[in-house]
Structure 1
């Protein structure tokens, strides 16, 4: 066989993997425009209704180590198929939940099962795409996730306003079943044989750079994803309807889609610390703008900027996570995703308390300051890790 006839190594994620990540993202971000409506319908306060989001994020995060260990042993594709089917069942339960308590439980279970999808998709890319093409491939995966985010935040508010908020939970449940069947023909990627569970976990939690990367992911989750969940409720507190609030925050997904193309073009020319600095600067600008003035216009601009944060900063951080300890990649990526969404739960819960008191300016000012510290920390850490030649 000539070199031209040899099969080419993949440079992007398979379509079925991207679709599964899309559905997971749709389910995760659909809640934002619904919170105020759910609170009104079920007789709860904003802070109580926000437990739907924080419980989801917490379950999503806490389940990650389990999924990482299982993906290293059972296989990436097999794990995604079964967790998608389980998530579909819990989505049906959420659709028909009669009380807030049951809804919170159903959504938490959905978060736990959907929690297997994105990190396992990232690990699949890490298994199948070489290091030179990995960040562009992960950026493609993030674009699919961004489409899910934009679709969720745009459609959820519209569907809830004109039909019923329960319909929003049924849509990803149906799509999850379709994705599970779509993954049937995808082959398992080659992967290193893991050692014992205890040895794998010990290798991860005793590795200095693994701990640093997942610690940074925790803070990023609180700053970006946790507070992002509150943009729609912040607008609704001013009298904006759920449909308009959802469409405004959907600019986040649009921002990711646009800027992810930029990352693909720039990743070969700019070092990772510089990409991180660009994304972190967008975070500071976004929350600084919101702290100065909260309106539909500023939320749209801030959401677009946070999309740039996700493309530039987060894609760099997750690329780092896939390569920091290759022999335990599934476990490390699961810890990374777990701490990211545990941070999201903390950010949503903390922000919800301030939002319940209508202290939105204070929330966004605090987030702006933390975002600045986070950006500097990631840039400095990555430069130290890479060394002077790679930074």
Structure 2
């Protein structure tokens, strides 16, 4: 075992050309992500999901309208999502650990500037830069796992990472409004940068993994875009994002439309993060007994059932059940798709994972915008019935095309 890095063993391998000059001709083989990488992903998720609940407090404190304050979230989400392909290609060119360190450093600086921004314009600008840097952490972490964890352990390692991300989601959703009310929205914006600094210190001795060379920027991008299976997993990510992340946004508003206050509604939906964390513990034992298509089917079935419940009736009980089922779907279906994304084009792994993440967030954005008229009309049954149908189609599509892929790879 390598001292200071639990869960790492070293095996001898031939050194790829781009890694000549390394002190050893070995590469780390992990079974789980390093703590610093997992916590960095937690911080990225926490920062992203803390934005929306704070908009009312931002508007009141800075003396602007809520419509103007929405720009704080809008530019952040755009920067977070659309910067990811850039981070992916940079990670393939310069290395995973190096990019993680730069992303953490940039997140810390820009995040602290956000916390002390005196005007809305400066806050929007700082949040845009923060979104760019925090947006690079999770895809680079996923790529690092793809480089350092054998395929037989990769999905369980990804589920460990997803557990940390889910905790960030749950804590941000449950506490952002409360902290904003009792303390200040600035406190919530300052917490992730502090965590980023601690992660930066934890990663200072993390070795750079060996990786296959895909050539320069253009060559690496061409390698990814000319692979039809890359397009397949990115397309599946788009529709999964549309179903899970897009429609998850409306569970709390659906309860609020029934008269529940915002804090209680947010705490109810926070069950999603708790469920993801708990169900991620099942990925390792299930993955040893079941094929990946079975995990996709179980996770997709949970997603379909979760939306079907709230399509039939909206109450605290059905929303809690839906959030729990969606957490199970994220732990099983999403990590299956992620593990697939890390394997389809190893020479362009960083680029592929970043495209996968960009597709996921693009899908969530499109479905959120498309659902707007239904939300305005209080057509919750139609909205969630459509989400259930989309979830079913995503599940069947993922299982069918994965079986085709497995047959061709044999």
> Does the pair score TM above 0.5?
yes
Partner residue, 1:214: 234
Alpha-carbon deviation of 1:32?
A: 4.6
Are 2:214 and 2:223, in contact at CA under 8 Å, matched by a contact in 1? no
Post-superposition CA distance 1:338-378 (Å, at most 9, x none): 11112222233333454344333332222122111111111
Equivalent residue in structure 2 for 1:138, among 149, 158, 161? 158
Query: Are 1:43 and 2:87 matched, yes or no?
Result: no
Structure 2: 5+ residue runs without aligned partners? 1-8, 12-28
* Change over 3 Å in CA distance of 1:55–1:219 after alignment to 2: farther
Q: Secondary structure at the match of 2:371?
A: helix
Contact 2:56-2:66 at 8 Å conserved across structures:
no
Contact 1:287-1:365 at 8 Å conserved across structures: yes
Pick one of 203, 224, 228 that aligns with 2:248. 228
Aligned counterpart, 1:92: 112
Q: 5 Å matches for 1:174-323?
A: 174-323=194-343
Q: CA deviation at 1:321?
A: 0.3
Cα deviations by residue, 1:46-100 (Å, 9 ceiling, x for unpaired): xx76665454333222111210111112211111111122122332343345666
User: In structure 1, what is the Cα distance between the partners aligned to 2:100 and 2:284?
Assistant: 27
- Aligned counterpart, 1:129: 149
Query: Is this contact kept in 2: 1:217–1:340, CA < 8 A?
Result: yes
Alpha-carbon distance in structure 2 between the residues aligned to 1:237 and 1:101: 32
Provide the rounded CA distance (Å) in 2 between the counterparts of 1:369 and 1:387.
28
> Looking at both structures, which has the greater relative contact order when contacts are Cα pairs under 8 Å and sequence separation is at least 6?
1
Between 1:32-41 and 1:378-387, the stretch displaced more is 32-41
Residues 1:327 and 2:347 aligned together: yes
Given candidates 101, 113, 134, the residue that maps to 2:133 is 113
Query: Which residue number in structure 2 is paired with residue 3 of structure 1?
Result: none
Per the TM alignment, residue 148 of structure 1 is displaced from its structure 2 partner at its CA by 1.3
| Residue of structure 2 equivalent to 1:377 | 397
Pick closer, same or farther for the CA change 1:118–1:246 going to 2, 3 Å: same
Note the C-alpha offset of 1:304: 0.8
- 1:61 is matched with 81
> What is the aligned length?
383
Q: Hey, what does 1:75 align to over in structure 2? A: 95
In structure 1, the gaps of 5 or more residues are: 1-5
Could you say if the C-alpha distance between residues 242 and 345 of structure 1 is closer, same or farther in structure 2, counting changes exceeding 3 Å?
A: same
RMSD (Å), alpha carbons: 2.4
Task: Give the drift of 1:40.
Answer: 7.2
C-alpha distance in 1 between matches for 2:119 and 2:381: 32
Contact 1:95 1:169 (C-alpha < 8 Å) held by counterparts: yes
- Structure 1 residues 32 and 67, CA gap change in structure 2 (3 angstroms): same
- Following superposition, the deviation at residue 176 of structure 1 comes to 1.6
Indicate the residue corresponding to 1:23 in structure 2.
43
How far 1:244 sits from its partner (Å)? Answer: 1.8
Give me the whole-angstrom Cα distance separating, in 1, the residues matched to 2:368 and 2:70: 7
Higher mean alpha-carbon deviation, 156-165 vs 18-27, is at 156-165
Structure 2 CA distance for aligned equivalents of residues 94 and 323 of structure 1: 37
Provide the TM-score with structure 2 as the length reference: 0.86
User: In 2, Cα distance between the equivalents of 1:262 and 1:347?
Assistant: 29
In 2: Cα distance, 1:85 partner to 1:125 partner: 21
Which structure's CA Rg is the greater one?
2
CA distance in 1, matches of 2:222, 2:407: 26
Counterparts in 2 of 1:173 and 1:354: CA distance versus 1, 3 Å: farther
Q: Distance in 2 between matches of 1:153 and 1:385?
A: 37
Q: 1:230 to 1:53 in 2, by over 3 A?
A: farther
Q: Distance in 2 between matches of 1:376 and 1:44?
A: 41
